[in-house]
Amino acid sequence: MSNRLKAVINCGSSSIRMIIGEFTANGAPQVIDQAIHYLPMGKDVFTTGMISNKTMARAMEILKLYRELLKGYGIEPSQVQAVGTAAVREALNRENFVDRMEIRTGFPIRIIDGLEENRLSYMAVLYALEKEVGLLSRGNTLIMEVSGGSTEVIVLKKGIIGAVHSLSFGAIRFQELYRQKKGYVEVKSHELEQSLSSLHDLIHEDCRHGSVNRVFLLGNYARIAAEMVGKGVSARLLEVEHRRWNALAEELYLMPPEDIVNRYGIAAAAADGMGTALLAYRYLLKDIDCESILVPRVGISEGILMEARPGVDPEVQSRFWNQVRNSALALGKKYHFDAEHAKLVARLSVELFDQLASEHRMGFRHRLLLEIAALLHDIGTFVKPSAHHKHGQYLVENSELFGLDAHDLKIIGNVVRYHRKSTPQNTHLGFVSLNREDRLVVMKMAALLRVADSLDRSHSQKVTDVKAIIKDEVMELQVFCDQDLDAEKLSLVDKGSFFEDVFGFSIRILQIRKGEKV
Amino acid sequence: MSKQPSMFLNRELSWIEFNRRVLNEAARPDLPLLERLKFLAITASNFDEFFMVRVAGLRRAFRSGDLPYGPTRERPSEQLSEILRRYGDFVADQYRIHDEILTKLRQRGIRILGRDELSVGQRARLEQFFEEELFNVLAPIRVEPKRPFPFTAGLRLNLAFLLKGETLSAPAPSPQAVGEPEAAAAQESPLLAILEIPSYLGRFYELPAAEGAHDFIRIEDVILLFAERLFSGYHILEHLSFRLTRDADIPVDEEKEEDFVEAMNKILRNRRHSRRVRLELGARGASQLKELLCTELQIDPKVVFDCPGPLSLRDYFGLATQNFDRDLSVEPWEPVLTLPDEQNIWQTIRERDVLLFPPYHSFSPVVRLLKEAAEDPNVLSIRMTLYRTGGDSPIVEALIRAAETGKQVLVLVELKARFDEEQNLGWAQTLERVGCIVVYGVANLKVHAKALLIVRREEDGIRRYVHLGTGNYHVKTSRLYTDLGILSTKNEYTYEVAQFFNAIMGYSTVQHSHYIIMAPHHLKKKLLSLFEWLTNEAKAGVPARVRAKMNALADEDIIRAIYRAAEAGVVIDLNVRGICMLNPGHVPRAQIRVISIVDRLLEHARIFSFAAGEREELYLASADWMYRNLERRVELMFRVIQDEHREQVKHILDVLFADNTQAYVLKPGGRWERLTPQGNKAVRAQLVFHTEAEEWRKLQAERQEEGLTPRRRPST
């Protein structure tokens, strides 16, 4: 019974927030309790690089209180998903922080990166929309969060991820740098705009083919502002007129936090950075023609809750994987990849992956990573065809893909790296820096990708399906094709050897023409 | 040009007016005598608190500069002199009524005898009582000239004696004697001695009497009968009863005090020695003693009152609640149990929200819920606020039991609940010992909200049960105060009640809420915005109306908002039991009507309705519209959301505003005028509610006879 309860703690730049969610019989999550304490972790980290002892002690007190609150629901700290975002991530003493919190309070804190935050923001929006998710497939949607330490942006076109951006601009971070540099805190709006101008331009470029139909703003700042001047659309969503939002930004950005506290009755720690954040939002939304702004009353904690649903809600799950795929396709397109080839290789890779499941024993997430690697395996050609596997690795690891974090990108980059030419060597830093488990995963995925890639060596999509049958140390690949497959067969001899090294099977290809019996 | 009537009525005078209305009940010849005696005792008890808190406060303000303050901008000295003048008149009326009631009781065979009215047998009984029980517990103290006056606690009955040493014999002083009398000095000037009468002795001693009759004697008279035995070697020249009232309000410095429990203990010790704000003196004669006592006590003669009768009229409570002849008391109203014991309480509340209207409805389902929670292995935790809760309360017992059976029990105990501090401190520490997590209030704010949350693990997941009410979790007062409460498992309530507890227990900073609005953070703002909404609607021509019932209306901002709304055309109907600082004459042509109901039960529920056109928002609350409730306390106002409950609450308001027998209407300037049916059907709200509850009970009984037990909601 109690496994239907799930608690999530988010140690953010300006607050530690906990939610307790319950999954209803159909698996839909519902937050039944929450707690928030404001804590200036970001302020510490963005000025000194470290979380101070005082802040750490306070964090510990807060977590102990949360532990007590959880006890009232019969939840143990070890069952809680606790994450740390920008401030913890960037703290020089983050290991120390994580360790101390776990030892003293029992909560294991996992540090997540900007891209994962991005994904969780998207999930949070899905949580907020409840049954209205269909809304996203109409027109364009902009999802944005300016927090204490970072800014995340997602552009959805007809519900499909068009672009994602994660920028280390944050309200607290900006203020603190500003204070250090200038010695005063009054943020000049044009200077703030300068540091956001490239993101502003990117967003506008992403949206250039049509207006933005709806804007979602997430995070504490947006939520508190929306509670001040907005109205509830549903229990999970607030709406604010764009005009009203801008007016509030004007009003607050030069207002000392104390005045914000007094006038609006919000927590002092929550007011810190408020003006700057609102100003950032105002600027980023400046040329966006959208009458109202939607603000979920939720944050990435709800995103984590969405992901933790028991059983898979096939619709939301496939919607999510599609978003990752679309994001990869958008990246491929940017580098002028051969879309037909890429898509076929991806499909064949996945077919092989599924048919050889008992041999490689990799899970669903790796299947997705393989698919993405297959989609992107040739993008390095954009730089230069020779050594394009190495360029491809570089491009992948330095891109932003929705739903994937830096670690995922590293794995994909390595798979791209080893889809041709040299196999992994001890001298390849990008490979040896992976842990053993990931190295194995990379090798298995690269081996599968090599075979799939060979099957479309001529880039003409002659092979459309493949069936792998394993008999006594030999993998027979049955391919269905009426055309000549010489190039593919030749390529397999070359690329198949790595597969043999990894899986221990030699490959035999069996071409089946129409009308032939298997 | 006529001056516009003042914006605000004086708070203290409005309070005295309320007490007047209570005293009017005591004067009613048509009421049973003991009921009248009860009302008389209430007025006395009310004035005790009034002196301890309000008069004490005004005197402090007077000493620190006599600056005008409060919405009426009057000087404390002006207010004090008017208060004392009216109090003088009040006391005279109290004793006039007192004498009348006692005379009539005598005609009915209930006598409080004077010392000279005793039969021989009665006197013998008293002598035995004095020798065996009183002599050893009475400890008179001699007052030495030029030494500090001996400690005299507030609100206790004392006797003062003027003694003269006997010259003829010089016996050894008894153990209780006045110190060590130096015989020589004693013989020259008379001695002053005082004696505090221990309160556990009770005020009235019942004597043997003829069949069907009841004879009593006051405890001070018993003592006076044999007082010379306490002062052997002395002769009593004069004796006098007196009673001191002390300032009750010594603030805790919450910023400085690290351990609040310790600080509270300190205050309780200090309060016993706090400033004297009133001295009541017993009747007749004893002129030397009176003068001497006033000099020794160094008390302002303005607050010394000669009472034409026995002191401490509030002690009649004990007598008023005794069972003599049926027609001497009002007919008892048994609360109806709307949630029968044989029903599964969890299931019932899960299936439907329950609206409780004690004391017409029994409060016991709430107690039962707690008791069952304590024993239920599926219950994970219990959270609740306790403000005033009786000492041997079944509620506290249930919480202790819950902690013992391993539930997480979180209790917020408000130590600052005035006059109950000592008791609260005691059982709060007991709760802590058995493993409850006790939070001792919230710094700088008094937690007045009444809320309960039970987390229970059920087949289909976690379910939370809440109770929200307008009255305290106090079993005894739940039979005397009219309150409204809701038992529910609805998400709208449970989520926000959980948030409320997170805020007051320190788990979280205060969050925004929609159904449960919390003071001091959001409540006043919400009320003002509701008034603003109606004002705008009225300006736009939409009919708008406020109907609000509360115990007191004294917040300046709210009153101004009411005037603005009334000016815009909003119809204002207020049902204010006690203090009302709004002056209905202030806004010309405005439709403001203020009534006040004083009846056998204490009107205590807070109900607010804001309506414009088709839309009506209904709220129940723990808060009055007073500055202290809205700004200095943690209070809750909660929305009534379920249709049937909305209908019931609207009906309750309809009846309350239709009362034309126990209600008074406030006239411009602050005078209250009793309403009469004047040809209309007489409506007595409390009787209507009682009758409806009785009808429901009968209906249930009939159904049961038919073998059917449909779960009908009680109509209120």
Q: Looking at residue B287, what is its pLDDT? A: 82
| Range in A227-236, A466-475, B172-181, B459-468 with the lowest mean pLDDT | B172-181
Rounded average pLDDT over B290-306: 89
Considering only CB atoms, B381 lies closest to which of A5, A72, A267, namely A72
- Residue found under tokens 């556990």: B200
Cα–Cα separations (whole angstroms), residue B395 to B391, B431, B469, B602: 10, 11, 15, 22
For B496-519, b/e burial (b = at least 16 CB within 10 A) is bbbbbbbbbbbbbbbbbbebbbbb
The interface predicted TM-score (ipTM) is 0.81
Distance CA B561, CA B564 (A): 5
Decide if pLDDT at B272 tops 70. no
The number of residues making up chain B comes to 716
Whether residue B502 and residue A66 make contact (CB cut-off 8 A), yes or no, is no
Instruction: Taking residues B190-217, report their average pLDDT.
Output: 92
Cα(A461)–Cα(B294) distance, integer angstroms: 114
* Token pair in block for residue B404: 């013992």
Residues 235 to 274 of A: which have CB under 8 A from any B CB? Answer: 265, 267, 270
Report yes or no on B87 lying in a domain. Answer: yes
Residue B689 located in a structural domain: no
CA of A420, closest CA in chain B: separation in Å?
Answer: 53
The answer to whether residue A307 neighbours chain B at the CB level (below 8 Å) is no
pLDDT band at A2 (very low <50, low <70, confident <90, very high): very low
Q: What are the C-alpha distances in Å from A443 to residues A422, A438, B169?
A: 12, 9, 120
In angstroms, the separation between the Cα of residue B630 and the nearest Cα of chain A is: 14
Q: Is residue B555 part of a domain?
A: yes
Phi, psi of A155 (to 5 degrees): -110, 125
Look at residue B344 in the predicted model and tell me its pLDDT.
92
Q: Of the ranges A312-326, A417-431, B472-486, which one carries the lowest mean pLDDT score?
A: A312-326
Higher-confidence position of B81 and B171: B81
> Are residues B457 and B416 part of one domain?
yes
Q: B143 and chain A: CB distance < 8 Å anywhere?
A: no
Is residue B701 one of the residues assigned to a domain?
no
pLDDT, tens digit (0-9, with 9 covering 90-100), for A373-395: 999 999 999 888 889 999 999 99
Q: State whether B497 and B586 are in the same domain.
A: no
The pairing of beta strand A29-38 with beta strand A15-23: antiparallel
Q: Return d(Cα A332, Cα A441) in angstroms, integer.
A: 23
Gap between the terminal Cα atoms of chain A? 51
B239 and B318 part of one domain: no
Local confidence band at A310 (pLDDT 50, 70, 90 cut-offs): low
Provide the shortest C-alpha distance from residue B496 to chain A (in Å): 8
Upper half-sphere CA count for residue A154 (Cβ side, 13 Å) = 32
pLDDT at position B273 is 60
Percent of chain B at pLDDT exceeding 90: 67
> Comparing C-alpha atoms, which of B512, B538, B533 is closest to residue B523?
B512
- Across all residues in chain A, what is the average pLDDT? 87
Are the C-beta atoms of A73 and A112 separated by less than 8 Å? no
Mean pLDDT of A166-193: 80
The fraction of chain A above a pLDDT of 90, given in percent, is 38
What tens digit of pLDDT does each residue of B638-685 get?
999 999 999 999 999 999 999 999 999 999 999 999 999 998 999 999
The DSSP secondary structure of B503-529, one letter per residue, reads HHHTSS-----SSEEEETTTHHHHHHH
Q: Does residue B529 sit at the A interface (CB-CB below 8 Å)?
A: no
Domain end residue (candidates: B446, B478, B510): B510
Per CATH, domain A314-512 is 1.20.1200.10: no
pLDDT at B103 over 70: yes
Q: Work out the angle between the directed axes of helices A189-206 and A274-284 (0-180°, nearest 10).
A: 40
User: Of B467, B492, B510, which marks where a domain is finished?
Assistant: B510
**Do B281 and B319 have their domain in common?**
no
Which range among B414-423, B490-499, B572-581 shows the weakest confidence by mean pLDDT? B414-423
Confidence at residue A412, expressed as pLDDT on a 0 to 100 scale: 94
Task: Please list, in sequence order, all residues whose beta carbon lies within 8 angstroms of the beta carbon of residue B510, skipping any fewer than 6 positions away.
Answer: A267, B503, B518, B521, B522
Instruction: Give burial (CB, 10 Å; 0-12/13-18/19+) of B408.
Output: buried
For residue B191, give the amino acid letter: L
Assess whether B505 and B550 both reside in one domain.
Answer: no
Q: Please, what is the angle between helix A300-307 and helix A114-129, to 10°?
A: 80
Residue B187 has pLDDT above 70, yes or no: no
**Which has more pLDDT, B262 or B692?**
B692
Q: Give the three-class secondary structure for B663.
A: strand
Please indicate, yes or no, whether residues B151 and B260 belong to a single structural domain of this protein.
yes
| Cβ contacts of B662 within 8 Å, gap of 6 or more | B597, B598, B599, B684, B685, B686
Residue where one domain finishes, among candidates B486, B510, B534: B510
Judge if B313 and B385 occupy the same domain: no
Joined together, the tokens standing for residue B622 give: 């723990």
Does pLDDT of B175 surpass 50? no
Partner A contacted by B444 (CB < 8 A): no
Q: Which CATH number fits domain A114-307: 3.40.50.720, 3.40.50.300, 3.30.420.150, 3.40.50.1360?
A: 3.30.420.150
Residue A77: asked if its preceding bond is cis (omega within 30°), the reply is: no
Q: How far apart are CA B324 and CA B341, in angstroms?
A: 32
Residue B496 sits in the same domain as residue B523: no
Whether residue B66 lies inside any domain: the answer is yes
* Residue pair B592/B621 in contact by the 8 Å Cβ criterion: no
The catalytic site residues of B sit at 448
What confidence score (pLDDT) does residue B482 get? 95
Angle, CA A345 vertex, CA A341 and CA A346 arms, to 5°: 115
Contact (CB<8Å) A34/B494: no
Which residue range is the domain that position B224 belongs to?
123-264+277-299
8 Å CB contact of B499 and A34: yes
Nearest 5°: CA angle at A154, between A148 and A159? 145
Look at residue A70 and tell me whether its pLDDT is greater than 60. Answer: yes
- Find the angle CA(A359)-CA(A360)-CA(A361) to the nearest 5 degrees: 100
A232 near B CB under 8 A: yes
Distance CA A340, CA A349 (A): 14
> Does B525 contact A at CB distance below 8 Å?
yes
- Of residues B460, B462, B498, nearest to A25 (C-beta): B460
B669 contacts B594 by C-beta, under 8 angstroms: no
Residue B269 banded pLDDT, cuts 50, 70, 90: low
Asked if residue B251 has a cis previous peptide bond (ω within 30° of 0), the answer is no
**In the prediction, which pLDDT does B81 show?**
94
Q: How confident is the model at residue B170 (pLDDT cuts 50, 70, 90)?
A: very low
Q: Return the pLDDT at B82.
A: 95
Whether the CB of A126 is below 8 Å from some CB of chain B: the reply is: no
Say yes or no to pLDDT of A209 above 70: no
Write out pLDDT tens, residues B698-715: 988 888 777 655 566 665
Res A364: pLDDT? 75
Where are the domains positioned within chain A? 2-111, 114-307, 314-512
Say yes or no: B206 and B140 in one domain: yes
Domain co-membership, B540 together with B460: no
pLDDT band at residue A7 using 50, 70 and 90 as cut-offs: very high
Indicate whether B705 belongs to any domain.
Answer: no
Q: In angstroms, how far is CA B354 from the centroid of its own chain?
A: 27
Q: What is the pLDDT of residue A27?
A: 75
A268 has a pLDDT exceeding 70: yes
Residue B388 has pLDDT above 80, yes or no: no
Same domain, B489 and B390: yes
- Confidence check: pLDDT of B115 > 90: yes
Residue A149, C-beta contacts closer than 8 angstroms, at least 6 positions apart: A12, A13, A42, A45, A46, A85, A86, A87, A90, A168, A170, A172, A173
Distance from CA of B283 to the nearest CA of A (A): 56
> What residues 62-91 of chain B have any CB closer than 8 A to a CB of chain A?
none
Nearest to B278 by CA among B23, B59, B69: B59
3-state secondary structure of A106: coil
Which of B508, B529, B533, B641 is most worth mutating to test chain A (most A CB atoms within 10 A of its CB)?
A: B508
Alpha helices (H) along A267-424:
268-271, 274-284, 300-307, 314-334, 339-355, 357-360, 364-376, 388-397, 406-417
Tokens found for residue B25: 């009940």
Q: Which of A60-64, A250-254, B414-418, B478-482 has the lowest mean pLDDT?
A: B414-418
Residue B577 contacts residue B651 (beta carbons within 8 Å):
no
Mean pLDDT of chain B: 89
Strands B544-550 and B571-576: parallel
Average pLDDT over residues B187-200: 86
B192 within 8 A of B296, measured Cβ to Cβ: yes
Do the domains A2-111 and A114-307 sit in the same CATH topology, yes or no? yes
Domain annotation covers residue B702: no
User: pLDDT class for B173, splitting at 50, 70, 90?
Assistant: very low
Same domain assignment for residues B89 and B132: no
What is the predicted pLDDT for the residue at A1?
40
Q: Give the CATH fold of the A2-111 domain.
A: Nucleotidyltransferase; domain 5 (3.30.420)
Residues of B in contact with A1 (CB under 8 A): 457-459, 461
Distances in whole angstroms, Cα of residue B608 to Cα of each of A6, A439, B242, B316, B577: 38, 68, 44, 36, 14
In chain B, how many domains are there?
A: 4
B160-182 mean pLDDT: 61
Is A89 a residue whose pLDDT tops 80? Answer: yes
Residue B333 lies in a domain: no
Specify the CATH number for the domain of residue B435: 3.30.870.10
Tell me the C-alpha distance between B249 and B55, whole Å. Answer: 11
Chain A partners of B464 at a C-beta cutoff of 8 Å? Answer: 32
Any CB–CB contact under 8 A between B460 and chain A?
Answer: yes
A476 to chain B nearest CA, in Å? 51
